[in-house]
Amino acid sequence: MAIDFLSQTVTELAEAVRGGEVTATALVQHALERIDALNGPLNAFVALDAEAALVEAKRQDDCIAAGEPLGPLAGIPLGVKDLEDAMGFVTTRGSAAFADGPSATRDSALVERLKAAGAIVVGKTNTPELAYMADTVNATFGPTRNPWNVEHSPGGSSGGSAAAVAAGMVPLATASDGGGSIRIPAALCGLPGFKPSLGRVPSGGAHAPDWHHLSSKGVQARTVADTVVALDAVLGPDPTDLRSLPMPEPSWLGAIEGAHLPAKVAWSPTLGYAEVDKEVAAICERAVGRLSDLGVEIVEVPTVFPHDPVGAWLTLTSAYNARTLAPFRGTEVWDRIDPRLRALVDNFGAGSAEALVKAEDVGHELNLRLVELFHDARILLTPTTAAAAPRSGEAGMVNGKASSAWVSFTYPFNMTRSPAGSVCAGFTAAGLPVGLQLVGPQHGDMIVLRTMAAIEAALPPSGRPPIAS
C-alpha cells in the first residue's frame, strides 16, 4: 500500500494498520522522511525522537501480528504542539525561559489519550512564545513557514502543527486555542480547524492550565472527519480539570455522518467592528452565497458585538503570561523574552484584581449577545481572519495598511467559551487560503461540526500546497 498523508484519511490509515495492509513502522518511517524533506523550508517541527517513535511502531506491529486489538488511531504519526507535555521532550513553550528545562516525565491528558488510541508521537511542533501572538515565530527556534507560500506565516499559535499537517508531514497534530490558535492556522493553511467548548478536552494535570478561562485543547487534521475521529478518542472529564465537561452522550463521529446544512444561519461580515481585506471579504461572501444557492436562509447581522473586546482579552492573556513569567523577572532570562511579550505583560498583566474580574465580565456580556442571536439562527458565520496570511514575521495587512486587527474575529469566542470552527472558503489571487468561521451556541459542538462537514462537502477542496506537491 502506497502511503500519502495528503490524500488518505486518518481512519483509512489506521484501518490499514489494523488490517495488516500497512505497518505502523511504515507510517512512522514515511512521516520521518517527509519531515526530513520538508522541515528545512517550513520549520514546523522543533524536536524529533525517531528512535522512540519507531520502537512504539514496532510494538504495535507485534500486537497486530499477535492478533491483539489496537485503537482508532493505530499507527498514526502525531506531532505535539510545544505547549503540551509529551514524555521525553522538553516543553519549551517557544521561550528561552523554558528551552533549557528538563524533559517531561509524563504526557498531558490530551497526549496520553491520543497515545492510548494508538497515535505515535514523532516530535514537537513550533509555537510563538507562550502563544502570545498569531504568527509562529520565536527567538529560540525561528519562524515556521506556510506550505502554500513559504514567504508567509502559517498563523499561530498552533502554526507548527497546522503547517506540518498541511504539508503532509504527519496526518495529525495537537493544538490549542486561546484566541484563535486552532482556527487561524487552519484558515491560513487551508485546513478545517475546530475549537471545542472549553472543558470538552481536559486541560488538567499537575499544574494549572496556562490560560485558565480561554484556552481549549484540540487537534489539527486535514478533514473534519479526521478531526472528529481524534476528538472522539480524547473527549471526557478529568478529575484534575476544574472546567472539564461531562462526556457527551452521542459519538461526535456519528453526528457528522450524513451531515446537512442548517436551514438558517446568521452571517456577520465584520462582527460590527472589524475592518476586512476586500479580497478576503469577497471570498467569504462567495462562500456564503454558495450556501444560499443550496437553500440555506442567510440572515445578515451587521453588528454582533458593539465594540472590539480586544482590551479585555489582552488583560486576561497578559495576566496569565505574567504569572508564567514571574519567576524570571530580574534574571538574565528576562532579557531574552520577546520584548513585545514583555511589554504586554507590563502594560496589561500588571493590572489590578478588579481589572481582571471586569475583563472576565466582558465574556459574560458577549455571550448574552450570542444567546439572543441563536434564538433566530443555528450558526453564526464570519470570516476567520480579516486578511490572508501575512508575511512571516509581520503583523499583517488589512486593506493595504499594517494592522494586528487581522485576527479580530476569533478571540471573542474564547471569551464566551463557544464552540467554533473554520473551513476553507477559497483562495486569494496569490494562492493563499481563506477561512470561513462557524460559531455555535453554548456546548453546541455537534451543531458546529455537522455544519463544518456539510460546508466542507459543498465547497471546493483545498488541494495540495505547492511545497508538498
Whether 437 and 287 have beta carbons less than 8 Å apart is answered as: no
Q: Is residue 334 part of a domain?
A: no
Q: Is residue 24 part of a domain?
A: yes
**Could you tell me which of 149, 197, 117, 142 has the C-alpha nearest to residue 414?**
197
What does the pLDDT look like over 279-332, one tens digit per residue? 999 999 999 999 999 999 999 999 999 999 999 999 999 999 999 999 999 999
**Could you tell me which of 183, 185, 184 has the C-alpha nearest to residue 194?**
183
Point out the residues that are catalytic.
81, 157, 181
What is the rounded average pLDDT of the residues 176-182? Answer: 98
Provide the residue type at 366 as one letter: L
Q: Which of 53-57, 184-188, 270-274, 350-354 has the lowest mean pLDDT?
A: 350-354
348 confidence band (pLDDT: 50, 70, 90) = confident
The boundaries of the domain holding residue 169 are 10-311+350-468
Domain count within the chain: 1
Q: What is the DSSP string of 87-138?
A: TTSB--TTSTTTTTSPBPSS--HHHHHHHHTT-EEEEEE---GGG-SSS---
What does the pLDDT look like over 367-386, one tens digit per residue? 999 999 999 999 999 999 99
Q: Is residue 356 part of a domain?
A: yes
Strands 120-125 and 420-427: unpaired
Q: Which residues contact 242 (CB under 8 A, 6 or more apart)?
A: 204
Q: Return the CATH number at 299.
A: 3.90.1300.10
Q: Please tell me the pTM assigned to this model.
A: 0.98
- The predicted pLDDT at position 402 comes to 63
Q: Is residue 240 part of a domain?
A: yes
Q: Is residue 330 part of a domain?
A: no
Three-state DSSP at 339 gives: helix
Q: Is residue 112 part of a domain?
A: yes
Whether 109 and 76 have beta carbons less than 8 Å apart is answered as: no
Mean pLDDT, the chain, integer: 96
Spatial strand order of the sheet with 264-267 comes to: 45-48, 120-125, 77-81, 172-177, 216-221, 193-195, 420-427, 433-439, 379-383, 264-267, 297-300
User: Does 126 score more than 80 pLDDT?
Assistant: yes
Q: Is residue 327 part of a domain?
A: no
Q: Is residue 317 part of a domain?
A: no
